[in-house]
């Protein structure tokens, strides 16, 4: 769902009743927005296991890192673009904000408050992620083949595809060896990059609710609790 507005509201010109009406109308509009991509509960993907996947935090964003081979076999354009990289990092986010090399306050406000187009950012990771991101915030999660397959299904469903089932380029990336692709779903305050990460982790079987996971800190706090329960660990 997309919205365009040609009118402005001057501060102080509305009654409390009018402000309440506008607030309720905005909430109704947002509730009708696309919550895609959805948590995946079943898939036809065949995946190896057990396998380690990784959750990385970079500033306000969180992303998921998986071995490249199986997802590349599902999405051949990823192999065409990244070839034999051992790992790929995936992140979902607001198109204008995510693709901007210089982020303005206006872009930040628009991304947070107004439903906008989304993109997937894919980055090649040339070595084991916990070594590549040594000293940064990264966690490892061991998945069996069933939960790994579900996670790959979730990642695949996050890409928008053309009539031939191929993912669609959006823009060359500017961080490392990276590329942006068109994605499914609208980005807004209640459906952010960190909401996407939470959906992926829930798909993978982690005890996490995507609701109110707008910030990276909320993901981090959940992972800390999971780590204390020894749920969050590398494969033996």
pTM score: 0.81
- Nearest C-alpha neighbor of 93 from the set 79, 72, 110, 76: 110
CA distance 70 to 80: 14
Q: How confident is the model at residue 136 (pLDDT cuts 50, 70, 90)?
A: confident
- Please determine, for residue 8, whether its predicted confidence score (pLDDT) is greater than 90: no
For the segment 32-42, what is each residue's pLDDT rounded down to a tens digit? Answer: 445 889 999 99
For the record, the structure tokens of 96 come out as 């204008």
Q: How far apart are CA 190 and CA 37, in angstroms?
A: 13
Helix (H) or strand (E) holding 156: helix 145-157
Span 176-185, average pLDDT: 94
Kindly state the helix (H) or strand (E) to which residue 170 belongs, with its residue range: strand 169-172
pLDDT higher than 60, residue 129: yes
Neighbour tally for 76: CB within 10 Å: 12
Is a pLDDT exceeding 50 seen at residue 6? no
- pLDDT number for residue 179: 96
Q: Rounded mean pLDDT of the chain?
A: 82
Residue 132 has pLDDT above 70, yes or no: yes
pLDDT at 23: 44
Per-residue tokens: 22: 């506008």
Residue that wins the pLDDT comparison between 147 and 36 = 147
H/E stretch holding 58 reads: strand 51-58
């Amino acid at each position: 769902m997309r919205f365009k507005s040609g009118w402005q509201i001057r501060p102080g010109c509305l009654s409390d009743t009018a402000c309440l009406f506008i607030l309720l109308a905005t909430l109704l509009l947002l509730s009708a927005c696309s919550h895609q991509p959805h948590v995946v509960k079943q898939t036809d993907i065949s995946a190896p296991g057990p396998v380690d996947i990784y959750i990385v935090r970079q500033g306000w964003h969180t992303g998921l890192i998986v071995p490249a081979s199986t997802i590349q076999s599902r999405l051949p354009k990823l192999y065409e673009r990244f070839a034999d990289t051992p790992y790929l990092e995936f992140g979902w986010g607001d198109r204008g904000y995510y693709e901007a090399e210089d982020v303005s306050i206006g872009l930040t406000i628009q991304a947070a408050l107004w439903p906008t187009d989304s993109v997937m950012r894919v980055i090649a990771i040339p070595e084991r992620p916990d070594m590549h991101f040594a000293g940064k915030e990264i966690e490892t999660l061991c998945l069996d083949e069933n939960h790994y397959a579900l996670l790959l299904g979730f990642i695949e469903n996050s890409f928008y595809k053309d009539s031939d089932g191929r993912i669609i380029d959006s823009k060359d990336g500017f961080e490392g060896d990276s590329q942006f692709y068109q994605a499914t779903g609208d980005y807004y305050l209640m459906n952010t990059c960190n909401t996407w990460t939470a959906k992926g982790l829930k798909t993978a079987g982690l005890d996490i609710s995507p609701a109110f996971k707008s910030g990276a800190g909320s993901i981090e706090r959940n992972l800390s609790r999971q780590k204390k329960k020894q749920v969050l660990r590398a494969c033996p």
